[in-house]
Amino acid sequence: MAPRTPNTLASPLAAGAALLAAAALAGCGKAPDLVVRISLDQVFSEELVREFERETGLVVQAQYDIEQSKTVGHVSAILAEHASGRPRTDVFWNNEIAQTIRLAEQGLLAAYDSPSAAEIPALFRDAERRWTGFAARARVLIANTDLVQPDEVHGTLDLLAERWAGKAGIALPLTGTTLTHATALYQVMGEAWARDFFGKIAAANAEGLVNLPNSNGQSMTLTKAGELAWAFTDTDDYYVAEQDGAPVARIYPDQVEAPGTLMKDGAPIGTLLIPNTIMLFKDAPHAENAKRFIDWVLRPEVEARLAASRSAQIPVRERVARPAHVGRLGDFKAMQVDYVALGQDIAARTEELTKLFNR
Partner 1 sequence: MSRSSTPLLCAALAALALFGFGPLASVVSPFLRDAFTAGPSMFLMDVYDARTLGLLSKTALLGLSAAGLAVLVGAPFGFLVARTDVPGAGFLRAAGIVPLILPPLVLAMTWTMLVPLRGPVMTALLLALATFPLVALFTARAFEQIDARREEAALLVGGLPAALRMELPLVLPSVLAGACLAFVFAVNDFSLADYVSSVGKKFGVYATEVFTASKVDGNQGRAAAIAAPLVGLSLLALIPALTLRRRGSAVVAGDFQRPAPLRLGRGRWAAFGFCALLVTLGALVPIARLAFEAGGGSRLFGSGSIRRAAWTQGGGAAQVVPPPAGPAALGAPTEQAIVDSAERRAAVAAAASAAARAATVRQLGGVAPAAGAPTGAAPAAGDSGAPTTFPKPSNSAAVGSFKRDSPEAVAAAAATAAAEAEAAAGKPKDRGPLGQRLAQFGRNLRGSFARALELSRGSLISSIVFGALAATLAVPLALILGHAAARRRRGRLMELLVVIPLAAPAILFGIGAIALWNHDLTARIYESGAIVVLLYVGRFLAFPTLALSRAAASVDERLEESAALAGTSASRRLFSIVTPALWPSLVGAWTMVFVLSIRELDAAILVPAANDTVLFRVFNAVHFGRDDFVSALCLLVVFVLLLPGLLWSLFARKRMEFLP
Q: Which of 53, 56, 69, 344 binds partner 1 (CB under 8 A)?
A: 69
Q: Tell me how far, at minimum, the Cβ of 103 lies from partner 1, in Å.
A: 9
Out of 125, 130, 139, 154, the only residue in the binding site for partner 1 (CB under 8 A) is: 154
DSSP characters for 37-82? EE-S-HHHHHHHHHHHHHHH---EEEE---GGGTTHHHHHHHHHHH
10, 16, 31, 289, 317 from 5: Cα distances, Å? 9, 18, 41, 54, 74
Binding to partner 1 (CB under 8 A) within 267-286 occurs at none
By CB under 8 A, name the one of 84, 122, 192, 266 that touches partner 1.
84
Give least dist CB 322 to partner 1, A: 6
* Choice from 113, 151, 196, 338 touching partner 1 (CB under 8 A): 151
- The span from the first CA to the last CA of the chain, in angstroms, equals 58
Are the beta carbons of 314 and 135 closer than 8 angstroms? yes
Buried b (16+ CB within 10 A) or exposed e, 282-309: eebbbbebbbbbbebbbbbebbbbbbeb
253 neighbors 185 (Cβ within 8 angstroms): no
Does residue 53 touch partner 1 according to CB under 8 A? no
Q: Which residue of 61, 177, 178, 187 would you call a contact of partner 1, by CB under 8 A?
A: 61
Q: Between vectors from CA 280 to CA 316 and to CA 93, what angle results, nearest 5°?
A: 50
By C-beta, is 185 or 249 nearer to partner 1? 249
Residues 106-135 that bind partner 1 (CB under 8 A): 106
Restricting to residues 202-241, which ones interact with partner 1 according to CB under 8 A?
Answer: 205-208, 211-214, 217-218, 222, 225-229, 236-237, 240
Q: Which of 117, 138, 251, 342 binds partner 1 (CB under 8 A)?
A: 251
Does 5 interact with partner 1 (rule: CB under 8 A)?
yes
Say whether residue 308 binds partner 1 (CB under 8 A): yes
Q: Candidates 122-130, 186-194, 247-255, 286-294: pick the segment binding partner 1 (CB under 8 A).
A: 247-255
Q: Does residue 93 belong to the site contacting partner 1 (CB under 8 A)?
A: no
Out of 80, 122, 127, 192, which residue is the one contacting partner 1 (CB under 8 A)? 80
Strands 230-234 and 168-169: parallel
Note whether 57 binds partner 1 by CB under 8 A.
no
Size of the site for partner 1 (CB under 8 A): 129
Q: How far apart are CA 98 and CA 179, in angstroms?
A: 10
CA-based nearest residue to 220, from 199, 235, 203: 235
Among positions 159-198, residues that touch partner 1 (CB under 8 A) are: 163, 165-167, 169, 172, 174-175
67 binds partner 1 (CB under 8 A): yes
For every residue of 338-353, DSSP letters joined together read: -HHHHHHHHHHHHHHH
Span from 44-52, 115-123, 126-134, 192-200 in contact with partner 1 (CB under 8 A): 44-52
Our finding on whether 41 is near partner 1 (CB under 8 A) is yes
135 three-class SS: strand
The DSSP secondary-structure symbol of 313 reads P
What's the CA gap between 27 and 321, in Å, rounded? 40
